[in-house]
Amino acid sequence: MNKQHFLNRFMLQQANSTAPSTHLAQLQLTQQKPLKKAAILMPLIQRDNGLHMILTQRALHLRHHAGQVSFPGGRHELSDGSLADTALRETHEEIGIAQNSIQLIGHLSPLTTTTGYHVTPFIGFVGNSEQVIIDRHEVKECFEVPFSFLLNRKNFTKQHLVANKRRHFTYCCAYQDHLIWGATAQMLINLQRHLHR
């Protein structure tokens, strides 16, 4: 799949996409505290052999989700004009890609996490000449995965975990020496569903 093919499919489905994410939906009913707004970027980049998606591995010293594979992003700040601004700001802070080098094309339905965040995933294209500069305080590694691999549902398995004393399921996907799971994997599953709807 190339950039134009992705745009055609994504934009066609965007207008029809109204279904909320079912991932950990029960948390919305059981949360004791208000959900915190956050946003992430699912960055796509065109390479000679097709589209790739950029992911990060969080730094090992972080208090929450240390070492986990994630997308660049974070909590919405009052200085952010919108959740899209949050995703762009955090991407620049974490992996050094300038906001004006990212072409946002839309977003998926927000996803509620076990840690009390209501996360909006944005989709954006990064120019293939952009250089990644990671912030070692937040990111251990930045890597690319062929989008065709992430689009293949057979590369994902479903597992169960216990969070907040409740049993939930999570998708898992192994790519090389990385394990993609939890909210990151669910966002990829939601993108698959969006494109194949």
Amino acid at 59: A
What total of structural domains would you count in the chain? 1
Query: Does 34 have pLDDT greater than 60?
Result: yes
Instruction: Give tens-digit pLDDT for 153-195.
Output: 999 999 887 766 777 788 999 999 999 998 999 999 999 999 9
**pTM, 2 dp:** 0.86
- The range of the structural domain enclosing residue 119 comes to 3-196
Query: Does 98 have pLDDT greater than 80?
Result: yes
Q: What separation, in Å, do the N-terminal and C-terminal C-alpha atoms of the chain show?
A: 16
Instruction: Give tens-digit pLDDT for 57-84.
Output: 987 666 656 668 999 999 999 999 999 9
Mean pLDDT of the chain: 86
Looking up residue 174, the CATH number of its domain turns out to be: 3.90.79.10
CB of 56 within 8 A of CB of 95?
yes
Q: How far apart are CA 88 and CA 86, in angstroms?
A: 5
Q: Which of 22-26, 97-101, 120-124, 190-194 has the lowest mean pLDDT?
A: 22-26
Maximum distance among all alpha carbons in the chain?
48
Query: Does 18 have pLDDT greater than 50?
Result: no
